[in-house]
Structure 1
Amino acid sequence: MELELNGVPVEDTYCEAFDGIYSRILITAKQKWLLKKAAYNSTALPSTVFGESEGGVEKFVSPQETPDGRLGAIAQIWVAKSKNFESVLMREMSKRIRQGILVVPTTRVFNATESDKFFDAELNVGRCGDGYEWEEEMWGRKVIRVPIMFGEFIIERYIGYAEGVAGGNVWFFCDSEESALEAGEAAVEVLRNMDNVITSFDICSAGSKPETKYPEIGPTTNHYYCPTLKGKIPDSKVPEGVKSIPEIVINGTTLEDVKKAMYVCMEVVSRIDGVLKISAGNYGGKLGQHKIYLRDILQEYGE
């Protein structure tokens, strides 16, 4: 039986997702523009494929939802699950907080991870005070107050981390760049209304593949699905009429969160003119521990 959603064909395939480690933090600031700068600064540049970290803004929250009564943003920082993931996460969190948040005026960071595992922010962030920082209890939490030239930076001392699922994805085969942008924007926007998930690339324009002619630079373009190579290579997998294939990559605190987010993206995009087919990226099971079948998602979440 052919799969479809709102009249749009859905390829009977799966995406590969993998186990990852995330830390969910709450950033607050005095003004909205400062909050946005800190949130986007600290979550930019996905780079888990290079053994580093990636992040995304889950959502913005009201002053009624933050410990200090200021505007807030929930952000997630992810690293690949490995033998030394704790040291990698601490190093990566430190870089993103120190260079992306601490340097933005009036910002504070609080733990937003439900977990019984924590790392001590005093070690890699608090010591930015060069020994002049101090610990205090504020808003019912243990925090470190770091003196800085603008005033002070406050961070909750213990930041939690937990295991989640990263790399869930959906692909949209579109008849133009315009329809691809519309579809990608709709998918990213609908994810902003969901808790516990992020899309670290937003609209990803350049899906990659594990094998490459140049391993020294890391993953390279997934040439099978590059529309400009159709007719130039014998093994192109781009259907007739397709001019652009955006990818939405999803990380979630649970496998269920990722699956639901994939369906929500598929459903909203299937209503957009110019979307010719919906699919997902996999690499024959070489990359991830989890296979998420689109057929199963449609059966589980479809009406």
Structure 2
Amino acid sequence: MVKNKNLDKVDNTYAEAFSGMFCRALVTADDEETLTRAAYDATSTPGAVIGRVEGGIESWVSPEHTPDGRKGAILQFWYGSDDLEKFEVELSYRIRQDILVKPFTTLFNASPSPEGYIDTMKQVGHCGDGYEWEEEIYGRNMIVVPIAIPDFKIERQLGYATGIMGANFWYMCRDKEAVLDGGREALRAIKEVEGVITPFDICSAASKPETNYPWIGPTTNHPYCPSLSTLLQDESQVPPGVNYIPEIVINGWSMEAVEEAMKVGIEVLLDYKSVLKVSAGNYGGKLGQYNIQLKRLFK
């Protein structure tokens, strides 16, 4: 068991998570600024809750570990259903609009144990309008898409697999500093766990499946809004002294990786005096098939 005197702050509850498809890819570029922009732009909008792709940066890769000897970034892209055709389309938007358009970028497959492959010719390769071609480069089967700054290269097949989405924890804070300083330190610890991403980083908007406005999708989890505690009275679930309830969401390629990421992130936050409680979002089994008990993370 982890020796942390503050484990009594951990709520006796669980995080509810669900399965989803993910694609793990490596983007490389000539310079660090372009690489950074491509990586962050392509993963900037978490969208699984509204039927779109969401993503995150898993890690940065040094030139000696990339096929073309340039700096790279491992990206994960996730989709919350088993509709592979829709995933392929949604993924192509991120590649075409955020990576292909950046000067001198290349995209490689980086899926460790794929269950299948997405053929990138239909949705990305044909951006060449029929002038694209295939070529073996760096020992990979690449599509070369002719563009005005020659040329975008993408591996013909990107692997996909099934992983865990939506795992989460909430850290209930007395002050604003704990929200940002604690959250950022937790994110740095999570970054050291291979195979996971945090698509929202520090998230300020916990949601719930039930809503008065179904065309919006998930709306605010009102019992956990500190600004509504007086209005809601007994319905409020905000503990005394808590003024902020940020959330960190984790997607990962295995349950082991997800649980490790949750554990190391929570461990960091338990050392903050103004973090009064750590809890998690769950919806009575309405969201997903996985229940990750917070206290068991520390056994």
Q: How does 1:42-191 map to 2 (within 5 A)?
A: 42-82=42-82, 85-114=83-112, 115-191=114-190
State percent identity of aligned pairs. Answer: 50
Question: Post-superposition, which runs of at least 4 consecutive aligned residues in structure 1 deviate over 6 A?
Answer: none
* In structure 2, distance between residues paired with 1:68 and 1:6: 48
Equivalent residue for 1:196?
195
Cα shift at 1:268: 1.1
CA contact (8 A) 2:193 2:260 kept: no
SS for the counterpart of 2:165 is strand
> Which amino acid is 1:189 matched to?
R
SS in 2 for 1:151: coil
How far the C-alpha of 1:5 sits from its partner, in A, is: 4.2
Amino acid at match of 2:85: S
User: Partners of 1:165 and 1:188 in 2: how far apart?
Assistant: 18
- Partner SS state of residue 266, structure 1: helix
- Three-state SS of the structure 1 residue aligned to 2:122 is helix
Q: Aligned letter for 1:279?
A: S
Amino acid at match of 2:237: K
Provide the C-alpha distance between the structure 2 equivalents of 1:64 and 1:17, rounded to a whole number of angstroms.
36
Q: Which moved more, 1:218-227 or 1:181-190?
A: 181-190
Partners of 2:3 and 2:180 lie apart in 1 by 21
CA distance in 2, matches of 1:275, 1:201: 20
Does the Cα contact within 8 Å between 1:4 and 1:10 map onto a contact in 2? no
Query: Within 5 A, what are the aligned runs for 1:7-26?
Result: 7-8=6-7, 9-26=9-26
* TM-score normalised over the length of structure 2: 0.96
Question: Deviations along 1:136-181, whole A, 9 cap, x unmatched?
Answer: 0011110011111011000011100000000000110100122111
Q: 1:6 deviation in Å?
A: 3.4
Alignment partners' CA distance in 2, 1:78 and 1:6? 36
Q: Residue in 2 aligned with 1:285?
A: 285
3-state SS of 2:230 partner: coil
- Counterpart of 1:121, as a letter, is T
Q: CA separation in 2, counterparts of 1:132 and 1:200?
A: 35
Q: Deviations over 1:108-148 (max 9, x none)?
A: 00000021410111111111111111100011110011111
**Number of residue pairs matched?**
295
- Structure 1 unpaired stretches of 5+: none
